[in-house]
Structure 1
Amino acid sequence: MKKILLTLSIALANFAWAQFTTGTVTLSTGMTVKLDTSPTLATLTLTGPNTSFLGIGFGGTGTGGGMGNGVDGFIYNVDSTTNTNLDYTFAGVGNTPNPDAVQDWTITSNTVASGTRTIVATRSLSGGAGDTAFTNTAGNMNIFFAKGPSTTLAYHGGGTGNRGYAVLTKAGTLGVTDIVAENKKIRLYPNPAKETVSFNNADKIQSVDIYESTGRKVKTVKIDGENISVSDLKSGNYYFEITLKDGSTAYQKLIKE
């Protein structure tokens, strides 16, 4: 029985705390794309010519389709800033996509070297209204993509050198050994909890981001002492993304009663 429970615990830990990646995928347009997920965040890494707009749509069949009315996408263009004009909804083939009223992507890095732009952007797994909900699991995702003749949003032109389709395949990147090593730094208790939780090694903690199981961020808490209040959280499961003062990150799961 103990062996069964241990195996189950390891499997649950691997599911809850593993990270997944598509790896870097080369696209026919001279672009590359990579999608990484953690228990709380999706990270998109996109490269391409710095003189072009760069767009990724989440949909299609992998070999066709895309740009349908209402389909979600990420487009870096001349109007993009760190957190505006990145999150788009397609308006149908032949129509210019519309920026979402609420922007969920945030650029964390935007560099140009030897004519190639590299963009790294993050958002919660769930995103916002109309966004594609990502999952922190292995699996396939269909995308379509395009680059423009300039950074201004306009018709991208025909041919596989300007647009195309692909299937991204996510696989796990963080093994059980890594998970145990990472999370033994910090522990929260009691768990389950009703009012407050405490942390061992609390002096090592910089801040705590609390997420619902869907990936939606609830709040950020600065640590003052060893305890934080969770009385305002509804009953359910939550992920704590704990940023340590040395710059590393640990994860803990809380069951709120």
Structure 2
Amino acid sequence: MMNREKGWGKLQYMGGLGYQDSVIVTMKGLELRLVKILTVFTSIDLSSNHFVEELPMDVGSLKSLKGLNFSHNNLTGYIPPSPGNLTDLEWLDLSSNKFTGRIPRELADLTSLAFLNLSENRLTGHIPRGPQFNTFKNDLFAENSGLCGFPLPKTCKNSSRETPPETILQENDTEHGGWFEWRTILMGYGCGTVAGISLGYIIIDSKKLERLARSFDRKGAKMRRKSRRNARRSYQR
């Protein structure tokens, strides 16, 4: 199952000429009986046992794995991101365990994943979005009181808690040019505003001075005309 070779040529089955192996497996939520087992059939079904502790990280090295079923056990801890390396994985069933923490974002990147069941655990946080995750029904995430987001009816109250701080910083730097660049723009805008207001006051004050000067000129002209009239009257007398 660690070998990615597809086994070209004629299909071969496990077992000898007089006897063929058979097995009952749960594939994509359906229990099936395979009367013959293809040698290229790579699936692990360890459901309904009493396994405890965490899911092994080594699962991520089984590159040819098509299906993985660990449902109905007593597995605890976080779901490791290593299953995200299984690019051929078509179904994954980890339901009815005691997994905690968030759903690994790596699982949402699996483009071959047609079936996923994470119900009846203790998972928390926002359900990641992805091409396959967007097609899953809400009952595949049910009985996880801490989960929120599509396809569940429960919305996440604080979206900032659902995105890692590093991602938020990267998005801000990418979309808005970074805090330093914005701070520079705001400083320039503030300085320009102050300069504009100051220039406006200068223009306003200069206009006031001009009007005041004109007023004095008019008053001075009136006084000069009045003094000339008085001088003429005195001369005539």
TM-score (norm 1): 0.18
Structure with larger Rg = 2
When normalised by structure 2's length, the TM-score is 0.19
Q: Which structure has the highest helix share of the two?
A: 2
Report 1 or 2 for greater relative contact order, CA contacts < 8 Å, sequence distance ≥ 6.
1
